[in-house]
Structure 1
Amino acid sequence: MKKLACALTVSYLSVSAALAANYLDQPVEDNLPSLVGIYKQIHQFPELSHQEVKTSAIVAGEMRKAGFKVTERVGKFPDGSQAYGVVGILENGPGPRLLIRGDMDALPIIEETGVPYASQVRTKNAAGQEIGVMHACGHDIHTTTLIGTARLMAATKKQWKGTLILVGQPAEETADGAKALMADNFYERFGKPDFAIALHDTPGRAAGQVAVTSGPTTAGVTSIDVVMRGIGAHGAEPQNAKDPVVMAGEFIVQLQTIVSREQDPRDPAVVTVGSIHGGAKRNVIPYEVKMELTTRSFSDKANQIIIDGVKRIARGVAISAGVPEDRMPIVTVVEKETLPSMHNNPALNARVKTALTGALGAANVFEDDAVMNSEDFGLFGLPGRQIPTVMFGLGIADPAELAAARAGGKPIPGAHTSHFKPIPEPSLRAGVKAMTSVATALLQ
């Protein structure tokens, strides 16, 4: 009898999701032209983490137009500065509380896509170097989808009951945006949701498709700074030096043995040296070389193995080079750029998948494996995963280009590259319909 009841429930939910999806078709199409316009505006004028002034204003304005109660400048960073978080709340009678997040920040990359609305924004980094600014991770798609979802949920209030909490999140790329929101008494101010959902674009799927993952979804990331200190000298007199450039090279090579020889191969992990700086002139041996690392893993055990290995190898290289004790390397774990792994709650993931299937059809819903990329959305679930969370993938690739790439042709540019290029209209159509259908299914 229980099996029959479960089967009937799943069947009912599938039919309900399909009906809701059909009901959304026309509203999605009606809103699509203006949403594409908003997307292109956000894409053309991107803003880096901690600087999302205009983007947050767009989100806040659109939420207010849709009838949400809006609070701006939500979030507090460790230095005391206020973040540009936006929270919109729409109450619609008794029922569950659902949080939906869309992140708003861009990356320091010069855009080379060639699209008419490409970013021409330039700024300077902390070192005074001129850099580009580009939405190379699809946060413009996420933000615009959030706006579209706000519009449709407000317009279809007869289809759902409960409270909807929409969050325009700053500073995801610097891994401190969600932390800033939580540090600003987020749930005390806006209420704790029963569940939280988000989407993230993926160039590995065609526009119109979505992907779900149950359990571990994205890896945890630990950022580590390593300063290899030595003794400087003239380049013609290396015997008077303890060369930190050579030591940095040895350190980087030995670093590869942590994952290959210390970590259990059944528990994936990655160590990457993404930045190395040292010296100012070709014939001068510098006093130090600074390296910036990121490590990624799904387990606390793997993460600790990596941290311990980095410290041990750095010290070992310095000792072998004869560096005195007072010049040993400095290894620092950068807590503000460190995140735990993210897990999709299996029960909630099953409900999300049912809603997505009803919205887009079973042929467009896929099961994907976990990825080594990292995300701060999991922090909305609180320590111990008190609040069920799910993030699903939204395809943004041109179907023909993706098919050609899979057949051995030109690869699809990935995220965090200068050629990253979502197709706006079909991506937003699917994104808004998918997210609204999921929200409607959960708010029953």
Structure 2
Amino acid sequence: MTSSAARTALDLTADLPVPALEDFYRDLHRHPELSLREHRTAAALAGRLREAGYDTTEGVGGTGVVGVLRNGDGPTVLLRADMDALPVTEETGLPYSSETDGVMHACGHDLHVTWLAGAARALAAGRDTWSGTLVLVGQPAEETGGGAARMVADGLHERFPAADVLLAQHVVPGPAGLYPHSPGLIMSASTDLDIVVHGRGGHGSRPETTVDPVVTAAYIVTRLQTVVSREIAARESAVLTVGRIEAGTRHNIIPSEARIALNLRTQSPDVRERMIAAVRRVAAGECAAAGCPAEPTVTVGDDFPVTFNDAGTDRRIASVHGEVFGTGTVFDPGPAMASEDFPRLAAGRIPYSYWFVTGTPADVWNAAPGGDDLMTRLESVPSNHSPHFAPDLSTVAPGVRTLVSGALASLSAED
């Protein structure tokens, strides 16, 4: 038996202006903006919210947008879409490719904004079917991990109706038409670390008069590869990635310092702290062995929390998604090593559900090697942050339906 939320969601999204939404998406894709510079994107979303009848505020937490639609007594449901792009040069070859050099919507946030705009219109048009309050959020700076916290610090839960539940979604690789949910841990924590190795510079012809920080940095990078393999239990999930190493200015100059940038992915606070301690220990040990004139500087930088769905909330949303999209479209993929700052909107107290929407075009998926082996195919198709990442336009309408049905499952139904 189909629930009223599923039936109503299908009714409210039956006549979506899909061509117009696709044009909106193409426009956002052509004009990507980096974190906290999402002025054009924010204005475009704010315009859509106002047209749909939402009381709309811009400039929240920097470039954030908040739209409020009060519709009688009932729960307050917050729907969130992130807006920022990445410093990636697009290589998709799409006719609507980025027109901004070196910047691309390589993570699908343009699609997220499109989904939110479509859901805003559908829910406002169908307000006679539900009661409560909608708070729609266009969040800046997800990619840097600070946007959600900025909005909370700027009074998101005080200046606007306090949410009873938060809902969000993210496009990911996979054959278009799947809606993965995990009623618990769904994404990992991320922590950036920066190491500065202090050496003693000099002429390349006289290395004996120097302490070469490049060689020491190389030893540190190599030694760090054992942190996960030899210090973290096999039952734990963790990743350590060295993303950048920088030193020197000329071929024949031994520099006075080298810099290493690395990232940790963890799923428990204990593992995170053990890995940070191991990085500090390895860096200090290698610098001592090399005779560096000073201990290395190790700085903890940007971080993202784990994304841990409220089980009851997520099961309710997953259930209505299964009704809307059919048997087999909703499944539990287990936790991913990717990270999100969305949980910071919850302020440690508001239940939330965060899910995925697969969006690989059918021709790309069908051409990927691997046959029936899903994981092999996933490794072969463009993923988030790839210069080739290009979600299928066929996901525009379904992504609106997921938000609309999730919201309706959380609001009060009208008789």
Task: Give the TM-score category using the shorter length.
Answer: over 0.9
The counterpart of 1:438, out of the listed 397, 402, 406, is 406
1:365 aligned counterpart, secondary structure: coil
Q: Please tell me whether residue 90 in structure 1 is matched to residue 76 in structure 2.
A: no
Partner of 1:365 in structure 2? 330
For residue 98 of structure 1, report the CA deviation from its aligned partner: 0.4
Partner of 1:291 in structure 2? 260
Aligned residues: 406
Partner of 2:7 in structure 1? 19
Q: Contact (CA 8 Å) 1:98, 1:164: kept in 2 or not?
A: yes
Q: Contact (CA 8 Å) 1:223, 1:333: kept in 2 or not?
A: yes
Change (3 A) 1:374 1:417: same
Partner of 1:80 in structure 2? none
Cα separation, 1, equivalents of 2:321 and 2:30: 30
Alignment of 1:255-274 (within 5 A): 255-274=224-243
* RMSD, aligned CA: 1.3
For residue 25 of structure 1, report the CA deviation from its aligned partner: 4.1
Per-residue CA deviation, residues 301-359 of structure 1 (Å, 9 max, x unaligned), is 000001101111000000001123xx21100111xx11211101110011001110121
The counterpart of 1:330, out of the listed 287, 297, 321, is 297
Per-residue CA deviation, residues 12-66 of structure 1 (Å, 9 max, x unaligned), is xx432332243134222xx111110010000001000010010000010000000
Structure-2-length-normalised TM-score: 0.95
Of stretches 19-28 and 368-377 in structure 1, the one that deviates more from structure 2 is: 19-28
1:55 aligned counterpart, secondary structure: helix
The counterpart of 1:134, out of the listed 94, 101, 104, is 104
1:161 aligned counterpart, secondary structure: strand
Partner of 1:218 in structure 2? 187
Q: Contact (CA 8 Å) 1:202, 1:393: kept in 2 or not?
A: yes
The counterpart of 2:126, out of the listed 156, 168, 183, is 156
Q: Please tell me whether residue 63 in structure 1 is matched to residue 49 in structure 2.
A: yes
Q: Contact (CA 8 Å) 1:209, 1:430: kept in 2 or not?
A: no
Q: Contact (CA 8 Å) 2:12, 2:123: kept in 1 or not?
A: no
Change (3 A) 1:25 1:66: closer
Aligned residue type for 2:153: A
Alignment of 1:218-367 (within 5 A): 218-324=187-293, 327-334=294-301, 337-367=302-332
Cα separation, 2, equivalents of 1:264 and 1:159: 51
Aligned residue type for 1:105: D
Partner of 2:360 in structure 1? 397
Structure-1-length-normalised TM-score: 0.89
1:121 aligned counterpart, secondary structure: coil
Partner of 1:174 in structure 2? 144
2:193 aligned counterpart, secondary structure: strand
For residue 214 of structure 1, report the CA deviation from its aligned partner: 1.5
5+ residue gaps in structure 2?
none
Q: Please tell me whether residue 417 in structure 1 is matched to residue 374 in structure 2.
A: no
Q: Contact (CA 8 Å) 1:208, 1:429: kept in 2 or not?
A: no
Change (3 A) 1:186 1:17: closer
Aligned residue type for 1:441: A
For residue 264 of structure 1, report the CA deviation from its aligned partner: 1.7
Aligned residue type for 2:128: K
5+ residue gaps in structure 1?
1-10, 76-82, 123-131
Q: Contact (CA 8 Å) 1:200, 1:392: kept in 2 or not?
A: yes
Partner of 1:428 in structure 2? 396
Change (3 A) 1:416 1:270: same
Per-residue CA deviation, residues 121-169 of structure 1 (Å, 9 max, x unaligned), is 12xxxxxxxxx00000000010100000100000111121100000000
Q: Please tell me whether residue 109 in structure 1 is matched to residue 76 in structure 2.
A: no
Cα separation, 2, equivalents of 1:114 and 1:332: 39
Cα separation, 1, equivalents of 2:233 and 2:343: 25
For residue 369 of structure 1, report the CA deviation from its aligned partner: 1.4
Cα separation, 2, equivalents of 1:157 and 1:315: 61
